[in-house]
Amino acid sequence: MLYRRLGRTGLQLSALSFGAWVTFGRQVGRAQARELLALAHDRGVNFFDNAETYNNGVAEQLMGDVLADLRFPRDSYCVSSKVFFGAVDKPLPTQRGLSRKHVIEACQQALTRLRVDHLDLYFCHRPDPDTPIAETVGAMDTLVHQGKVLYWGTSEWPAEAIHEAHRVAREHHLVAPVVEQPQYNLLHRERVEVEYAPLYETYGMGTTIWSPLASGLLSGKYSDGVPAGSRLTQPGYEWLRESVLGAGDQRVARVRALQPIADALGVTLAQLAIAWCLRNPHVSTVMLGASRPEQLAQNLDALEVLPRLDAAIAERMQRAVDAG
């Protein structure tokens, strides 16, 4: 495994990490979750990502049960939660958002579900237009001083709001965010590469990037239709289908254009797409998702592809998806 510093912090995360979205508590039950987490930890993964909203808290509960069962030393891994969407269907106004009340209560609930006494990383899952940023920064500062959170960050906040969080933190001597959690993959580059560019230099922020395979699309699994049991067939995730496949499935053609490059290297499309994300030095960790151990094992081997993915090949990949 390769380890990278989370921005300018001293925390070193495995360059490939593992998250629970969609899968835990839905496609993946206890036995499979155990197999996946054991495999990841065994291969050097030291960061497991979760959120209050993933299957309404069930994903955190399952991860917590399995982590306790596997008895990994607590100092051998990091675990996260994210606050904003709430952990129930139709949350009341106090059960969602980034108010001091919900940020603090959601943290407590995540600690209980995950069976840990601190979260290594705690993210504001989206910006909250109904809460002043200063209130949220203050709540995070409280949690850090209580020892319940070690590092905090944002997820999919506009750069402007992140600047504001840093301004408030500086002015009031509060703990500032050190990490952003954005989507980043071959088909979704702008925010990480352009909008956030000043954040890395100015504040030393790191990134834990999500959907490196665009929900599986970049593995090529949707190139000949939508396989039964895959993410895009999950009840309740119909909304994801068009954003992943694109109107008229045009994103599928862009992915097909990558296949000859993967074939020439003798690697899978998934490995190629994950290694491409790792080339970006501002990516602290690529968060993998997997519904089956074989997928995770294959994706973890992307690390071996990284040294072979030079600038010329990366350039060809970008041209292929842009033209496809």
Which residues contribute to the site for ligand NDP (CB under 6 A)?
19-21, 23, 27, 49, 125, 155-156, 181, 210-216, 219, 221, 230-231, 270, 287-291, 295, 298-299
**Could you tell me the smallest distance in angstroms from the CB atom of residue 312 to ligand NDP?**
25
Catalytic site includes residue 54: yes
**Could you tell me the smallest distance in angstroms from the CB atom of residue 170 to ligand NDP?**
25
Q: Which is nearer to ligand NDP, 139 or 244 (CB)?
A: 244
> What distance in Å separates the CA atoms of residue 319 and residue 324, rounded to the nearest whole number?
8
Of 255, 300, 309, the residue nearest 1 (C-alpha): 300
Q: For the purposes of burial, counting CB atoms within 10 Å of the CB of 250, is it exposed (0-12), middle (13-18) or buried (19 or more)?
A: exposed
**Could you tell me the smallest distance in angstroms from the CB atom of residue 28 to ligand NDP?**
9
Q: Which residue among the candidates 54, 122, 184, 222 is catalytic per the annotation?
A: 54
Residue for token pair 């100015």: 202
**Could you tell me the smallest distance in angstroms from the CB atom of residue 99 to ligand NDP?**
20
**Could you tell me the smallest distance in angstroms from the CB atom of residue 172 to ligand NDP?**
26
Residue for token pair 């599986």: 216
Q: Which is nearer to ligand NDP, 46 or 155 (CB)?
A: 155
The answer for 218, left when phi > 0, alpha when psi is -120 to 50, beta otherwise, is alpha
Q: Which is nearer to ligand NDP, 35 or 167 (CB)?
A: 35
**Could you tell me the smallest distance in angstroms from the CB atom of residue 91 to ligand NDP?**
17
Contact 89, 58 (CB under 8 A): no
Q: Which is nearer to ligand NDP, 115 or 191 (CB)?
A: 191
Q: Tell me the catalytic residues.
A: 54
